[in-house]
Structure 1
Amino acid sequence: MRFTHRREGSYDVFESRAPWTPRFAMGAVADSTGRVKILGGQLQEEEGVEGLFSRRVWELPPPEAAPTNWWEKKTSDERLNVRTTPPEWILAAVPPWTARAGHAALIDLETDAVFIIGGEGPSGFLADAWKEALTIDMVNVYTTLELFFQEVISTL
């Protein structure tokens, strides 16, 4: 006799007020910080020069962490010390790639860089790949170098 367990899932509306134009066949990724990105997609109605396809990237910031300082906590019950302010979707970018739908979206977990591959655009199927260009946080680089040099000087 074989025992199998089937778990029935249910869904609740997570976001009924999303600011983007209704779409389908878009790419979606989540990075290691919890940030969610919606990339491109096909629209119900034509939107500007791109027609029925979009190249816009919408982003939902990662959730805020619960307070760690004792004076910020509302209760000693850790289950209740969770922020409830919902994050807001923002238009993060309108990248230079061709507007598209039905593309693959991947994320490099080491760098959190997003890749999009192929799909269909206004002129037909696409055979290209794009990687998100990440900016360098110069404050972080400067702080890291400063700490490194302080450590080197202290060993002399």
Structure 2
Amino acid sequence: MDLFGGGILCCSSWEAEPSYGVPSNPTIDHCLIANNNALSGGGIFCMDESEAQITNNTIVDNSAFIDGGAVYVQGSSPTITNNVIAHNSALDSGGILTWYGTPSIINNTIVHNRPNGLYLGPTPWTRDQDSSPPVLNNIIWENEIYSSSSVSLEGYDIRFNNIQGNWK
């Protein structure tokens, strides 16, 4: 089992300059990301300043032992757009899990993930209050959910999502 990113790992390269790193900015477009597993980020793991473009993919049947069955975002700013994210599983958030990241999550279909289709953790502190990461126009449907008092929605721009049919 991989530790991070069973399918794809996007992270900075610390070889060029140890004090700064070089951001990873891949484009992942029109791919099938399926049947992968890892400790965290079963399908895709974005970390350390990654600005990946994750667009028009089918991300299905991935699993993580701990977090983010489909996608785990930690300390990075990927754009996650027009994907189908379905039938993924993890101990914590089978769909997308964010933790101190600023992803743009737009026009995705997030369905049948266990537990939680979308877990929005805290965002990094910024001086620019207009930099709230958008969660827009997504269909979040029929995901198994559980309640958590540690979820922070502060700092996100959440609008025009269709959230229905989720179950506990």
* TM superposition score normalised by structure 2: 0.22
* RCO higher in structure (CA 8 A, sep ≥6): 1
More strand by share: 2
More helix by share: 1
Q: Determine which structure has more spread, i.e. the larger CA radius of gyration.
A: 1
